[in-house]
Amino acid sequence: MNKKLIFFDIDGTLLDHEKELPASTEEAIEKLKQAGHHVAIATGRGPFMFPDLRKKLGISTYVSFNGQYVVLDEQPIHKTVLDKKELIRLTEEAVKTDHPVVFMDHKDMKANIPFHDHIQSSMGSLMYGHPDYDPSYLDGRDIYQSLLFCTAEEEMKYVKEFANAFDFIRWHEFSMDVLPKGGSKAEGIEAIVTKLAMKKEDVYVFGDGPNDIEMLEFTPNSVAMGNAVPAAKEAASFVSKDVDDDGIAYGLKHMGLL
């Protein structure tokens, strides 16, 4: 078998519903690496949010911030930043209605207010703490992604007002990712594929969420977890078992990689 490039989402894909790494998944990743395949991560998280997972799995290539900050063998190869003027305008609009904003670069993230229940609830679902307060964090830094905290009923005014600058992806009842217009995991994956001069048919992806749809459509070798949202399942070429039911190992075996 020729060497493959395999990308895994984190939440709900590599990590189970309790944010734990199933033993079957860890074993499967090790087998892929021993076979000489290139194993990578594709996530909406920032690099600073999953160093322990990378170390545990021995992974040095990843697509973070939904494609906006891409690293190949520990070296950044692709960066896309948010429009700073539009981000400031978005923040000003959000402040008017008590909708918090979190600014994220490749090293850290900071909130524009000291505390908010929506931030606590959303970040808690990732088993991650409330970001520190620093409303000036976007000054003099490249911001690759932001988080906007509001309900689905409240989001449309932002989607309409900032349609030319940003894409919004809801990942929690109270939170959305704010991405540069046209940004996606697929864009980040393509940067790695181009750098490695690989073919799309040698690329495999595993995901479960709305932010995985573009990458699931990017290659014919795409696997949605059994716990995936309906749109992700429709975009994938195969639907595996639930992450809690050894879904990664099952999907890899179906695709002929194990």
Q: Each residue of 20-73: pLDDT tens digit?
A: 999 999 999 999 999 999 999 999 999 999 999 999 999 999 999 999 999 999
Q: Which of 19, 46, 247, 232 is nearest to 137 (CA)?
A: 46
Axis-axis angle for helices 23-34, 247-254 (nearest 10): 40
CATH code, 201? 3.40.50.1000
- Shared domain check, 93 and 171: yes
**HSE-up of 80 (CA within 13 Å, CB side)?**
21
Q: What total number of domains does the chain contain?
A: 2
Q: How many CB atoms lie within 10 A of CB 220?
A: 10
CATH code, 99? 3.30.1240.10
- Shared domain check, 174 and 94: yes
Q: How far is CA 89 from the centre of its chain?
A: 25
Check whether 118 has a pLDDT greater than 90: yes
- Shared domain check, 167 and 187: no
* Proportion of the chain in helix, strand, coil states, percent, rounded to 5: 35, 25, 40
Which of 9, 16, 167, 246 is flagged as catalytic?
Answer: 9
Q: Measured between alpha carbons, how far is 104 from 106 in angstroms, rounded to an integer?
A: 7
Q: Each residue of 196-238: pLDDT tens digit?
A: 999 999 999 999 999 999 999 999 999 999 999 999 999 999 9
Residue type, 16: D
User: Six-digit token pair at 184?
Assistant: 């996606």
User: Six-digit token pair at 11?
Assistant: 């939440």
The boundaries of the domain holding residue 73 are: 5-79+183-254
Is 202 considered catalytic here? Answer: no
